[in-house]
């Protein structure tokens, strides 16, 4: 099995799209990956939530993953988002990602239909039988309708060798902390990642490994510095960076967070296009507030 260390700041890189036909813009994707790596991030995560994995076809996911692996060239680990609604499709995408050279699999819970904890457990166990690279469980119940409970995460961590991490995007800090607690003494190096940018430093302080940070699409260096300063013992600087990136929260009341992230990347001067329709609207008031936040961030030195 791969010995990749799951840690640090891993941006769910946006998937640039042509504004005319919404096709994937591979040259701009490569540019965004370079921005992230130059900013000092510790991994690249194609077609996560901010990468619109929920709306890309399997062919498009393969195209994005192929370009990502080629562009990264082993400089940081590549995390492939391979979770689908069915176990069958998740197995297919996970095997394909491993064949293509991904380092880690991020597997979101199935969505739409309500799943029991037994069904979720069985789903991950079955997928794990077919791959030989680390799996990171991905909990985001507000989007999927299914919550992966801490006790289920603990069971999977203990029972399945290749399950080596969990990302919690519930927004519930207590749930994130529970993930850390139930996996603290399981006899293997298990990584818990914050899926909400505001919880990166609390996660690290509690013994977590870092975060999958959408705002790294805007300020990769600043977000990466939360982790880097923490591990270097510069807690004051880590706190300063964590506080600085919180300003974007003001805009989230106006629309879908990943729609806002992608519009912000555009406003920074990168032609990544809008999110694929219908998830692409931000009202005029929201756009103006976003511009204010970006201006304040630039003045404060975020980059």
Contact present, 108 and 136 (Cβ < 8 Å): no
Residue 26: what pLDDT? Answer: 98
* Rounded-to-integer distance, Cα 54 and Cα 84, Å: 8
Q: Determine the Cα–Cα distance for residues 96 and 90; give it in Å rounded to an integer.
A: 10
At residue 3, the pLDDT reads: 74
Domain boundaries, the chain: 8-239
Query: What is the pTM (predicted TM-score) of this model?
Result: 0.96
| pLDDT at residue 187 in the model | 82
Q: What is the pLDDT of residues 133-153, one digit of tens each?
A: 999 999 999 999 999 999 999
Q: Which CATH class is domain 8-239?
A: alpha beta
Q: What is the pLDDT of residues 46-95, one digit of tens each?
A: 999 999 999 999 999 999 999 999 999 999 999 999 999 999 999 999 99
Q: What b/e readout covers 99-121, taking b as 16+ CB neighbours within 10 angstroms? A: eebbbbbbbbbbbeeebeeeebb
Question: What torsion do the CA atoms of 251, 257, 262, 268 make, to the nearest 10 degrees?
Answer: 30
Mean pLDDT of the 235-256 span: 96
Which residues form the catalytic set?
A: 138, 167
> Listing from the earlier edge strand, what are the strands of the sheet with 163-168?
8-10, 210-212, 191-194, 163-168, 135-139, 104-108, 79-81
Q: Residue 232 — pLDDT band, cuts 50, 70, 90?
A: very high
Task: Round to whole Å and give the CA distance between 169 and 139.
Answer: 6
- The residues near 32 (Cβ < 8 Å, ≥ 6 apart) are 13, 14, 16, 217, 265, 270, 272
pLDDT given for residue 1 in this prediction: 59
pLDDT of residue 188: 87
**Is the per-residue pLDDT at 208 higher than 80?**
yes
Tell whether the model's pLDDT for residue 285 goes beyond 70.
Answer: yes
Pair 193, 43: CB distance under 8 Å:
no
Question: What span, in angstroms and rounded, lies between the C-alpha atoms of 102 and 67?
Answer: 11
């Amino acid at each position: 099995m791969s010995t990749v260390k799951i840690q640090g700041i891993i941006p769910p890189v946006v998937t640039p799209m042509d504004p005319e036909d919404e096709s994937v813009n591979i040259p701009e994707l490569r540019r965004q990956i370079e921005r992230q790596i130059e900013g000092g991030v510790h991994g690249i995560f194609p077609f996560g939530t901010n990468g619109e994995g929920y709306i890309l076809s399997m062919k498009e996911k393969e195209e994005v993953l192929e370009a990502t692996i080629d562009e990264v060239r082993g400089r940081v680990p590549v995390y492939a988002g391979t979770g689908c609604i069915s176990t069958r499709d998740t197995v297919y995408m996970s095997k394909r990602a491993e064949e293509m050279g991904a380092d880690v699999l991020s597997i979101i819970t199935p969505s739409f239909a309500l799943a029991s904890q037994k069904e979720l457990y069985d789903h991950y166990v079955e997928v794990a039988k077919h791959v030989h690279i680390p799996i990171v469980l991905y909990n985001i119940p507000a989007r999927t309708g299914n919550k992966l409970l801490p006790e289920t995460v603990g069971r999977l961590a203990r029972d399945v060798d290749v399950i080596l991490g969990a990302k919690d995007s519930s927004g519930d800090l207590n749930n994130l902390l529970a993930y850390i607690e139930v996996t603290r003494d399981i006899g293997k190096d298990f990584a818990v990642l914050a899926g909400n940018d505001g919880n990166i430093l609390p996660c690290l302080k509690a013994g977590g490994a870092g975060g999958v940070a959408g705002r790294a699409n805007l300020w990769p260096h600043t977000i990466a510095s939360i982790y880097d300063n923490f591990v270097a013992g510069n807690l004051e600087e880590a706190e300063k960076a964590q506080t600085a990136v919180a300003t974007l929260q003001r805009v989230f009341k106006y629309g879908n967070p990943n729609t806002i992230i992608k519009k912000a990347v555009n406003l920074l001067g990168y032609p990544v296009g809008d999110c694929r329709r219908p998830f692409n609207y931000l009202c005029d008031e929201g756009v103006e507030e976003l511009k204010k936040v970006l201006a304040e961030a630039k003045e404060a030195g975020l980059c």
